[in-house]
Amino acid sequence: MSVRVRRIYEPPEPEDGVRVLVDRLWPRGVSKEDAHVDEWPKGLTPSTELRHWFHEGGSYEEFTRRYEAELDAPEAAGLLDGLRKTARSRKVTLLTASKTPEESHATVLARLISD
């Protein structure tokens, strides 16, 4: 199983496989044509309230806990299962505009998909 996280501002690579945008909002300055996004499951993104809480100084550990709880909701759980199935047979690249993808929801998703 191959799941990786990349910034959407990096150019697409052949080894990306299925490119999945995991941000709720489309990233500024990136055209849909240039992004080469295959899927955009908005139901997997953190809630607006959680995003605001985290960006206002919440800890990453607590953000991770709260985000995982949000992913237990039926819609998100179904989308997560779908990505797991895709990752079993194809490479998956989770795309985010986050300046620190290693401490973002995309990294949480990558771990959960790989489990």
pLDDT truncated to tens, each residue of the chain (115 aa)?
689 999 999 999 999 999 999 999 999 999 999 999 999 999 999 999 999 999 999 999 999 999 999 999 999 999 999 999 999 999 999 999 999 999 999 999 999 999 8
Q: How far is Cα 19 from Cα 35, in angstroms, rounded to an integer?
A: 9
Taking CB atoms within 8 Å and a gap of at least 24, the contacts of 43-52 are 43/75, 43/76, 43/79, 44/71, 44/76, 44/79, 44/80, 44/83, 44/109, 45/105, 46/70, 46/105, 48/24, 51/24
Q: For position 2, what pLDDT does the model report?
A: 87
H or E stretch at 68 = helix 60-70
Q: For position 1, what pLDDT does the model report?
A: 66
Token digits for 110?
Answer: 């990558």
State pLDDT tens for residues 65-95: 999 999 999 999 999 999 999 999 999 999 9
Q: How far is Cα 107 from Cα 110, in angstroms, rounded to an integer?
A: 5
Q: For position 57, what pLDDT does the model report?
A: 93
Residue 44 DSSP label? G
Domain range summary for the chain, segments of one domain joined by +: 3-114
